[in-house]
Amino acid sequence: MLKINGEEKEAAGQTVADYLASSGFNLARVVVELNEAIVPKGRYAETTLRDGDQVEIVCFMGGG
Amino acid sequence: MALDRETFHAALVARHGAARQAKFDAARVAVCGLGGLGSNVSIALARAGVGHLHLIDFDRVEPSNLNRQQYAATQVGLPKAEALCANLAAINPFCDVVAETVRVTSENLAALLADDDVVCEAFDRAEAKAMLVSGVLEAFPEKPVVAASGMAGLASANAITTRRVAKRLYLCGDGATDVDDNLGLYGARVLVCAAHQATMILRLIDGADEP
């Protein structure tokens, strides 16, 4: 079990890229923080989620 | 009447207090994107007497900007960085403004923003917002970022808030409305979001770390 945006999720073993895609996120519009460190945009496919992780995903809306 | 630096600064100290104004005087803030968010954030920071502003935008003023961006109709066609620099000089001639007409990319952002204390994300495209925020938080271990997401349309202004969504990332907006849904952008509501960003930036300069 790990926490994504404050909610408990069964996502251990998935990569960040897999989780984002399966949850319907547009990868170009997100910022991902894993255990208080930013996951570089080029490393989503090689970063694996583990039990106990704290993940924050911010998906941006357009306009300014 | 032209004000001298001492008179101008004394008026800021009278409103803000000497200790807080000294922090504002020394602060260096980068504003990335000088549209509806960035032009309004910059004016709020210049009025507060923030000492150093780094204005960055690759674009020029267009007629469609005038409903919400702090430019005059007579400035259509000018680079936004140059036009805003002139408008800020009229408001606070003692603010040290560096204005750059350049497109921020994942390749140049670390060099471009190295000397700034706080980064304000004020782009319009969601992909550009995510690129900048992710890149800055990755490149700089201490720099806070104040970003915006969700200010389109004419829904209630009360939906717009400031949240701390990651260790060094503050996000202003309603988090839901997207200009790509053809909601339009209204100056008043964009200004609410810009005011949230400017307030959070001043709070960070003052030493607060919560919204």
Contacts of B124 in chain A (CB under 8 A): 62-64
CA distance B26 to chain A (A): 28
C-alpha A32/C-alpha A20 separation (Å) is 10
Sheet with B118-121, strands from edge to edge, namely B96-100, B52-56, B28-32, B118-121, B145-148, B169-173, B161-166
Q: What percent of chain B is predicted at pLDDT more than 70?
A: 100
Give the pLDDT confidence of A17-46 residue by residue, as tens digits: 999 999 999 999 999 999 999 999 999 999
- When pLDDT is cut at 50, 70 and 90, the band that residue B141 belongs to is confident
The answer, yes or no, to whether residue B2 has pLDDT greater than 90, is no
Contact predicate B126/B144, CB 8 Å? no
A62 close contact with B: CB closer than 8 A:
yes
The whole-chain average pLDDT of chain A stands at 96
pLDDT tens-digit series, residues B83-128: 999 999 999 999 999 999 999 999 999 999 999 999 999 999 999 9
Q: Which domain holds residue A16?
A: 2-59
A64 in any annotated domain: no
Q: Which CATH number belongs to the domain containing residue A13 in this structure?
A: 3.10.20.30
CATH classification of B18-206, choosing from 3.40.50.880, 3.30.300.30, 3.30.565.10, 3.40.50.720? Answer: 3.40.50.720
Summarised one tens digit per residue, pLDDT across range B31-85 is 999 999 999 999 999 999 999 999 999 999 999 999 999 999 999 999 999 999 9
* DSSP letter string, B10-25: HHHHHHH-HHHHHHHH
